[in-house]
Amino acid sequence: MLGGRQSRRLGSPASRAAFEFGIGVSCLTLDYLSEHWPQVLQLTLDHLELASIAVGLALLTAVPLGILTSRFRTLTLPVLGLLGALYTVPSLAFLAFLIPSQGLGRRPAIVMLATYAQIFLVRNIVAGLRGVDAPTLEAARGVGMTDWQVFYQVRWPLALPVVLAGIRTAFVTTLSLATVSAWINAGGLGSLLFTGISRDNPPQILAGAIAIVALTLLAATALRLVERETAVARAARAARRG
């Protein structure tokens, strides 16, 4: 019970809000994370697996579609326009649309995440391939390379940094969006958030949020390091040092 004087101090709406905010902050502890870290780690691995499968499947269609679009410029507007329109569909609505045909679980989540990843992958593949200098390609043909050799040995390696940047963006975005897929029992770290919200358990929500942020930052850093090790990036660093 609050004393009469303290009750009077909390009489105003602002005072009550500040008091409730203080109680809420005091509930945000790391107890759940420290006590249930094996479960959080397993959910983190499940979350990473879900995102990896989705981006891997997305690449199977994005690479040929990006190559085709880079070759025929008339396809650019319709392809990127369609992929951009699909990305604007709200994730919960997308999942609800897929449930009747795909059911619950990972399958509809992977379909949704792979679809969302297309815009980042295709856009960067097109930009990377079109960004290769025409004189460089002509020089490669001039030494007797076939079209396949020009693409495989010259054009694709030069476009690779831009392609990897698209993969990094797609993967980080997929990690974030995969949180919503827990709504249909697809697993991952989103289950911590949804369960914590339903049980009014702030430490569990905080544990899920920390794990998602940490996983996203680690994935972005790792993929950025991969970008730095491409032949083009190494050559650019050597040119700057020289």
CATH number, domain of 167, equals 1.10.3720.10
Count of CB atoms situated within 10 Å of the CB of 29: 13
Domain of 82 in residue numbering reads as 31-241
- Considering only residues 240 and 2, tell me which one the structure prediction assigns the higher pLDDT: 240
Is the pLDDT confidence value at 19 over 50?
Answer: no
Instruction: Determine the 3-state secondary structure of 186 from DSSP.
Output: coil
* Residue 57 resides in a domain: yes
**CA-derived radius of gyration, the chain:** 24
* Residue 189 resides in a domain: yes
Instruction: Determine the 3-state secondary structure of 43 from DSSP.
Output: helix
* Residue 18 resides in a domain: no
Helical H segments across the chain, by residue range: 4-9, 13-27, 31-35, 37-71, 76-87, 91-102, 106-130, 134-142, 147-150, 156-177, 190-198, 202-228, 231-241
pLDDT, one tens digit per residue, over 147-157 is 888 888 888 88
Is the pLDDT confidence value at 84 over 60?
Answer: yes
Count of CB atoms situated within 10 Å of the CB of 179: 21
pLDDT, one tens digit per residue, over 56-80 is 999 999 999 999 999 998 999 999 9
Nearest-5° angle of CA 211, CA 121, CA 139? Answer: 135
**How much of the chain exceeds pLDDT 70, in percent?**
88
* Residue 24 resides in a domain: no
Q: Mean pLDDT, to the nearest integer, of 123-145?
A: 87
pLDDT at site 139: 87
pTM to 2 decimal places = 0.82
Is the pLDDT confidence value at 47 over 50?
Answer: yes
Q: Mean pLDDT, to the nearest integer, of 31-60?
A: 91
pLDDT at site 24: 47
Nearest-5° angle of CA 118, CA 123, CA 127? Answer: 155
Instruction: Determine the 3-state secondary structure of 217 from DSSP.
Output: helix
Count of CB atoms situated within 10 Å of the CB of 26: 9
* Residue 50 resides in a domain: yes
* Residue 23 resides in a domain: no
* Residue 25 resides in a domain: no
pLDDT at site 81: 94
Report the residue count for the chain: 242
pLDDT at site 228: 84
Spatial separation of the C-alpha atoms in residues 160 and 157, rounded to whole Å: 5
pLDDT, one tens digit per residue, over 197-227 is 888 888 888 998 999 999 999 999 999 998 8
Is the pLDDT confidence value at 119 over 80?
Answer: yes
* Residue 46 resides in a domain: yes
pLDDT at site 17: 45
- pLDDT band at 115; cut points 50, 70, 90: very high
Instruction: Please identify which residue in the block is written with the tokens 């990377």.
Output: 128
- Residue 67's identity, in one-letter code, is I
Spatial separation of the C-alpha atoms in residues 122 and 158, rounded to whole Å: 16
**How much of the chain exceeds pLDDT 90, in percent?**
44
Q: Say how many domains are in the chain.
A: 1
Q: What are phi and psi of 10, to 5 degrees?
A: -95, 15
